[in-house]
Amino acid sequence: MDNVSSIAIASIITAGFTTSIGCMFPALSEGKAVATALGSIAQQPDAAPTITRTLFVGLAMIESTAIYCFVVSMILIFANPFWTFIITK
């Protein structure tokens, strides 16, 4: 197996792990955040606008982690800097 093939295999495996783990854990934490926010709104209905606003900011921050993992996996698959390094050698 040549160097380009081994880098391609490692990149695809790493991209798969990055996408799977990087999307699984933020999804679990988003579900927990929404459940907690709904419980808080049920206990304090007057604070619903504040809780909702804070929830959306928190969900955006959590979702950004999944987006970053997706971007890293796309870079590993389509624009891998290691391929150009190996090919020019």
pLDDT tens, residue by residue, 17-37: 999 999 999 999 999 999 999
**Nearest-5° angle of CA 6, CA 77, CA 2?**
15
Structural domain includes residue 43? yes
Structural domain includes residue 89? no
Domain containing residue 62:
3-81
Structural domain includes residue 27? yes
Look up the CATH number of the domain holding residue 36: 1.20.20.10
Structural domain includes residue 39? yes
Structural domain includes residue 86? no
The number of angstroms, rounded, from the C-alpha of 70 to the middle of its chain's C-alpha atoms is: 6
- pTM to 2 decimal places: 0.76
Q: Indicate the number of domains in the chain.
A: 1
Listing DSSP states for 20-52 in one string gives: HHHHHHHHHHHHHHHHHHHHHHHH-GGGHHHHH
Contact at 8 Å (CB) between 21 and 69? yes
Which regions in the chain score pLDDT beneath 70? 89
Structural domain includes residue 45? yes
Residue 51 phi, psi (nearest 5): -65, -40
